Chain A
Amino acid sequence: MNRPTSQAINSPVPVFAFWVYLMSDLVLFASLFATYAVLKDNTFGGPSGAQLFNMPLILLATIILLTSSLSAALALQAARLGNQAGTLGWLGLTFFLGAAFLYLEIAEFSKFVGEGHGWQTSGFLTAFFTLVGTHGLHISLGMIWMLLSGVHVLMRGLNRHTALRLGQLVTFWHFLDVVWIFIFTIVYLMGVNQL
């Protein structure tokens, strides 16, 4: 506790600063959502969402992401209890579920592109690939971070530094879950129920 950095770690400033970053990221997603909402009917002779989406797979991806959010929360909980093996185990499960989600998303993208419905087809598909792809990019970066966080815990053990970073990672992951809920609702569920 006498380390010079301990005061900085104890203060809620890094937690708050990270929250401010997340909120600015929310504005990025809001602009992409607005772009999607404006362009969603501009299919330019190409297929609409209702013709493209494979809904059971999207439901599966959603459940996988929700479960990964729970396992991330349980990893943090294990860290609070000082249970290093539990932390790494839950983190590993979260990573695995994130990879499964990403696999489903990439499979969906490559299927669309393979069928000739790439992002250059129409305004709708440009907005779709940008919005969903940006979320997927965040998931990928979150997984790299998760890997680094796991190595960090493995090397340094559970202390205030590793716990703080773990807390930020888990908050980031929950945030991506929230963004996905809106992609699920606005892009997919509303996409197959056009007015």
Chain B
Amino acid sequence: MKRYAEIRRRSQTKSYLTGYGLSLLLTLAAYWSAMARPARGWLLLLLLAALAVVQLAVQLRFFLHLGKKSSPQWNALVFSFMAIVVFILVAGSLWIMKNLNYNLMNMPPSATEKTIIKDEGISR
């Protein structure tokens, strides 16, 4: 029994080291992408965002032990709920504020509408 516990602890230290190695690798990959710019514009931002999401998954899995059998299921549930709240908060703010810029333009509503249609590439 004691031996089993010892093996489990060792494997946990190993899991921490794996997580650390992966997070360092991802950080360096993200830094290299931002500085050497293998892609341009939206593609580069998308690449950086993807690396951050993988990094988040590594941190949650190896350090915060989310989604493991041993951790309480409630933690994962609250985390999912907060992820939705965070998404609505950030995406909603950006959506509203981007449109607010249009509403502050010094032109009549009909001209604003034409500008939005042109900017967003809407075809009617």
A: residues with CB less than 8 A from B are 12, 15-16, 19-20, 23-24, 26-27, 30-31, 33-35, 37-38, 55, 59, 62-63, 66-67, 69-70, 73-74, 77, 80-81, 171, 174-175, 177-178, 181-182, 184-186, 188-190, 192-193, 195
Contact = CB atoms under 8 A, between A and B. Distances in A.
14 contacts: A15-B72, A19-B79, A23-B79, A24-B82, A26-B86, A30-B85, A34-B89, A37-B94, A62-B27, A62-B31, A67-B20, A177-B63, A185-B51, A195-B41
Interface string B3-44: 000000100110011011001100100110111010001101
Contacts of B48: 185, 189-190, 193
Main secondary structure of the interface of B (DSSP, over half): helix
Interface stretch (B52-60, B105-113, B114-122): B52-60
Given A23-B82, A181-B59, A192-B34, 16 more contacts: A23-B81, A26-B86, A34-B90, A37-B90, A55-B34, A59-B27, A63-B24, A66-B24, A69-B23, A81-B9, A177-B63, A178-B60, A190-B48, A193-B37, A193-B44, A195-B42
A16 B75 contact: yes
Contacts of A69: 20, 23, 59, 63
A130 to B, nearest CB: 15
Contacts, number: 117
A80 B60 CA distance: 20
A69 to B, nearest CB: 6
A184 B72 contact: no
Contacts of A31: 89
B60 A27 contact: no
Given A26-B82, A70-B16, A55 B42 contact: no
Contacts of A67: 20
A49 B73 CA distance: 40
B33 to A, nearest CB: 8
Interface residues of B, number: 44
Given A34-B90, A171-B64, A182 B52 contact: yes
A182 B20 CA distance: 17
A16 B74 CA distance: 7
Given A77-B9, A185-B49, A189-B34, A38 B27 contact: no
A91 to B, nearest CB: 15
Contacts of A192: 34-35
A75 B97 CA distance: 44
Contacts of A24: 82
B93 A37 contact: yes
B5 to A, nearest CB: 9
